[in-house]
Amino acid sequence: MTTPEALAYVTKVLEQVDLYRHAASVVQYDMETVCPPKGMSRQGEVGAFLANQAFRLTKDDAFIEAAEALYSGRDGLNEFERALADKLHREYLRTRRMTAEDQHEQARVSNQAYVDWISAKEADNFSLFAHSLEEVRRVEMKSITLMDNASPIAYDNLLDTYERGMTSAELDRLFGACRERLVPLLRRIMASKKKIRRDFLTRPVNDRAQEAMARYLLTTIGFDFSRGALGTTEHPFTDGMGQFDERVTTNYDPKHFLTCLYSVIHEGGHALFDMNQPAENWKYYMTDVKTMGQHESVSRFYENRIGRSEAFIGLIYPKLRELFPELMADVSARELYEAVNYVEPSLIRTEADEFTYTFHIMIRYEIEKEIVRGNVSTADLPRLWNDTYEKYLGIRPSGDRDGILQDVHWTGGFGYFPTYALGNMYNAMYYNRMKEELDIDKAVSEGRFDLINGWMREHVFQKADRLAPRDWIRDITGRDLTPDDFLDYLEKKYTAIYELD
Own/partner pairs, 441-449, CB within 8 angstroms, 24+ separation: 441/309, 441/310, 441/311, 442/311, 444/306, 444/309, 444/311, 444/312, 444/315, 445/311, 445/312, 445/314, 445/315, 446/315, 447/220, 447/315, 449/220, 449/221, 449/222
Helical (H) or strand (E) element with 249:
strand 245-250
Contact at 8 Å (CB) between 492 and 486?
no
Cα(342)–Cα(354) distance, integer angstroms: 9
Q: Tell how strand 245-250 and strand 228-232 pair up.
A: parallel
Dihedral (CA of 49, 53, 54, 56) sign? positive
Cα(472)–Cα(484) distance, integer angstroms: 18
Contact at 8 Å (CB) between 95 and 146?
yes
Exposed, middle or buried by CB within 10 Å (0-12, 13-18, 19+), for 232? middle
First-to-final CA distance of the chain: 70
**Catalytically annotated residues:** 267
Of 362, 400, 360, 395, nearest to 381 by C-alpha is 400
* Helix spans in 59-204 (H): 61-72, 79-95, 100-123, 127-145, 154-162, 168-191
Cα(421)–Cα(285) distance, integer angstroms: 28
CA gyration radius, the chain: 23
Cα-to-chain-centroid distance, residue 49: 25
Cα(89)–Cα(86) distance, integer angstroms: 5
Cα(379)–Cα(41) distance, integer angstroms: 24
Of 363, 354, 423, nearest to 393 by C-alpha is 363
Dihedral (CA of 414, 163, 278, 452) sign? positive
Cα(333)–Cα(314) distance, integer angstroms: 6
